[in-house]
Chains A and B, each alone.
Chain A
Amino acid sequence: MSARRETRDKIVARALGLAALLSFGTTFAIVLLLLGESAAIFAKVSLKELLLSVRFGPMLDPPAYGVWPLLAGTALVATLGLAIALPIALIIAVYLSEYCPPRIRRVLKAALDVLAGVPAVVYGFVALVYVSPFLQPHVAEIGVYSALAGAIVLAAMLVPYIASLADDAIYAVPLELREAGFALGASRLSVVRRAVLPHAVSGVVAACFLGVARAMGETMIVLIVCGLEPTLTLDPRAPVQTLAAFIAQASLSDTGGTETGSRLMFFVATMLFALTFALNAISARWRERFLRRMP
């Protein structure tokens, strides 16, 4: 009886291990594929051209392969989105974990999760139909398609995501810390500011990096409302193109058909993968630091 149970346990353990290996294997295969395919681009385009040219137009004559316009566009949209989302998300997170009665907290948390799950294409459409026309009379020299319109809607998407993660971090701060603060006669706000937030800061930073990683990979919103113009600029009013949106546009419009085009897509995808991977790793580091401070 016990021998049979043992073998069954072993089989289950093996099967679970295999499943875990599958996810690792997939990631590994993606990395190999990305590196292999994008390395082939150096036969056509030099690394110097890719990294030093400030023009991007692979289908133009003469073709230009500088990735800086895409990098700048990605950074612009993502940081702008984060800059708008972060204060709002923080306020929501503090309210949820420090001020909100538990019953309302449960409802609000569920609502945040629903909001975080709205498909990006819905946000993109809202941006095009409502945000751009709203911005135009208020911001000089802004068109229908702009980095700013994309960033605002991206922020709407990031707020529930970051708020939920930051709330988890703030909520996890031990109660004793707050009680000690109140015992010293501190007000609720100063307990939050002086005791709770400093303790949760690494968790909040981790949430931010996860948010930026997500913002960088965001494709649909940018595709719909940011204009797809690969110009090297940091002007939020200008139309921009991002790494992710280029991959989407190129695959839709069949750049993949040309050899250099598909290699370029893989190269851009590798950059995007490296960037989001780095951001996720940084986020994990901060999270670890956060957990270490927890008793």
Chain B
Amino acid sequence: MTRALLIAIALAACETRAPIWIDGSSTLFPLAEAVTERLHGEAPAIEIVASASGSAAGIGRLCRGEVAIALSSRAMSDDERGQCRAHAIAPLELPIATDAIAIAVHPETTFVTALHVFELREIWRSSAEGSVTRWHDVRAEWPDTRLQLYGAGPFSGTFAQFALVATGRPRALRGDYIGSEDDSVLVRGVAGDRRALGFFGWSVFRRSAASLRLIAVDFGAGPVLPSVETLRDGRYALLTRKLMLYVDTQRLRTPEIARVVRRFVELAPGQVDAVGLTRLADSEYARTASALHDATLSVMQGGGATDVRSP
């Protein structure tokens, strides 16, 4: 009798302890961490396991049914939507913040203050491999010292977006740079290397602003630094991206998952500034909330979920 009771308790404990997995963009990871912490205070029984393997990895795992929630710093590609369909998973897209891509150098590299978009292309296109290797190769008046490149790794949304702006194609970057999906690797590298030029999330820069120097980008109308203002008025728009959650719609049937996603969307606006990200417009948050509300309702009512895109 006692033994049976013990087993029952153990089983119940297991059930509430089944963790909810979140994976994806390292840009969104600090936000996920902040929200998870708050959630833990509200509902300690819900266990959330979050990791940051990059947007592509997170979406891949969502589409294979391995995680309930994916963090992404870009919209899903058609290929990825196809993969999701193949596994009968209907992803729901929920925009929750924005971030820019920052270009940064070592704080003592003072000769460069701005780069033109065409210079970024010159530096980062595939054909620059082995030929643009010194600062001197970018602008003749710059010193003849090695140019060591750092940047988001090929599995991150930051990489895809930067490649698109710099070269016009989402993967056409050169390969001979120090690339990592782990932002701290890049910050450590650029902050400790006088020859460095790196790109990563502006939020990443803001969290380590003292040990880096931000470079303005000239999109054709004069140099622009990323700031809350230039992100909002669109002057830095080319290197700005929306960050979203993707949720497996069917899993909203599980009350714990529905609750985590709902609270994530509700808590995000209040947490974004603290982690260096930028708020969306209020109307966009309202749209995200109502999209989630509708999807949850239709799943609860047993409606067959379809591939739901955000408006």
Contacts and interface: CB of A to CB of B under 8 A. Distances in A.
B54 interface: yes
Most buried by B among A60, A228, A255: A60
Nearest to B193: A143
B172 interface: yes
Nearest to B173: A60
A55 B175 contact: yes
A84 to B, nearest CB: 23
Tell me whether chain B's interface is mostly helix, strand or loop, or mixed. Answer: loop
Interface in A27-60: 55-57, 59-60
A136 interface: yes
Which 8 residue pairs across A and B have the least CB separation, nearest first?
A: A57-B175, A61-B171, A59-B154, A254-B57, A143-B193, A144-B192, A231-B176, A257-B60
Contact of B154 (A60, A133, A229, A231): A60
Contacts, number: 81
Given A61-B171, A253-B53, A253-B57, 11 more contacts: A57-B154, A60-B126, A61-B170, A141-B195, A143-B148, A145-B178, A145-B189, A228-B180, A239-B178, A253-B54, A254-B61
Q: How large is the interface on B (under 10, 10 to 19, 20 to 34, 35 or more residues)?
A: 35 or more
B192 to A, nearest CB: 4
Q: How many residues of A sit at the interface, in one of the four size bands?
A: 20 to 34
A55 B172 CA distance: 13
Interface in B116-132: 126, 129
Nearest to B54: A253
Interface in A130-149: 132-133, 136, 141, 143-145
Nearest to A233: B176
28 contacts: A55-B175, A57-B154, A57-B175, A60-B171, A61-B126, A62-B172, A136-B192, A141-B195, A143-B148, A143-B195, A144-B188, A227-B178, A227-B189, A228-B178, A228-B180, A229-B176, A229-B179, A231-B176, A239-B178, A253-B54, A253-B57, A253-B155, A253-B181, A254-B53, A254-B54, A254-B57, A257-B60, A257-B64
